[in-house]
Amino acid sequence: EDKVVQSPLSLVVHEGDTVTLNCSYEVTNFRSLLWYKQEKKAPTFLFMLTSSGIEKKSGRLSSILDKKELFSILNITATQTGDSAVYLCVPSGTYKYIFGTGTRLKVLA
């Protein structure tokens, strides 16, 4: 059965800290892995990863995928209060996306 496990479930840090969010997955016919940020509304797209070992970067956020070990990490450096959100790891298989419960990040000023 397809599954996604994200860790930690929640995290509280102070502004300026660096955080690493983990995602392990098992998906039949894996296609890609997406990261989303969800605040109080619908998820917003962050990254799509399809190849192992290639780091994607966007400002203070970066992510990497290991297709052999079936995991991905999302790094956020120099965190800001605006980074407070739930981060969703979403692997995709044939015609479907599998959502984990997410990691809830709270950044304190």
Which positions lie near other proteins, rule CB under 8 A? 31-32, 34, 41-45, 48, 88, 92-102
Give the nearer residue to other proteins in terms of CB position, either 41 or 68: 41
The least distance separating other proteins from the CB of residue 71, rounded to whole angstroms, comes to 19
Burial of 78 (C-beta count, 10 Å sphere; 0-12/13-18/19+): exposed
Shortest separation between residue 97's beta carbon and other proteins, angstroms:
5
Minimum CB distance to other proteins smaller for 17 or for 50:
50
Q: Which residues of 37-65 are buried (b: 16+ CB within 10 A; e: fewer)?
A: beeeeebeebbebeeeeeebeeeebebbb
